[in-house]
Copies of this chain bind each other. A is one copy, B any other.
Amino acid sequence: MKKLAEPAAAAPPEDCDDARPGAPPLQLGPLGGIVGFHLARAAVTTVDAYERHIGKPYELRKVEFSLLMLLRSNSPVSPKQLLQSLSLTAPKLTILVDGLEQRGLLRRERHPTDGRSRHLVLTDRGRRLTDSATAAASPMELELLTRLTRAEHAMLIELLGKLAER
């Protein structure tokens, strides 16, 4: 039980075909048994798809997209709630909200009972943008289905969810 999972560690190449034959894939070795390593590699694919489908067309960085989407599904939300859900620091969130507010995508409102707190709400423009971006997310996920079956896609999300639980 001390060792890493053997199958992955001892696995054969399994890896990247490159257009150029001159670049032979490297052995992963013990790295092959480390979830975090594979997570980072997989992120290359998903980030690339994100940028093409949503990031560039809508000029939204990943956190901005996530933030707006959370706002869309949770009507009035405080910054505090958002930074917990998105694992951000408070200063970072302030900057993000500044930018999105200047773009007219959300508004800061006073909290009705607690003067220290705020309510963040989407503007009409923000709502239109998130709806549009949500539509753009469908072909993005469909693109991943060239690598994953639908069942694998669902399974992957489930497993990642277990890893993310607080």
Contact = CB atoms under 8 A, between A and B. Distances in A.
Given A8-B154, A36-B43, A156-B35, A73 B163 contact: no
Copies of this chain assembled into the complex = 2
Contacts of A102: none
Given A16-B84, A42-B164, A74-B26, A35 B153 contact: yes
Interface string A134-166: 100110111010011010111111011111111
A72 interface: yes
Contacts of A23: 80-81, 84
Interface size class on chain A is 35 or more
Given A4-B141, A16-B165, A157-B38, A69 B152 contact: no
A83 to B, nearest CB: 10
Nearest to A38: B160
Nearest to A147: B162
Nearest to A45: B163
Given A26-B82, A36-B47, A45-B163, 9 more contacts: A5-B154, A23-B81, A24-B81, A28-B70, A30-B69, A33-B137, A36-B50, A42-B164, A148-B159
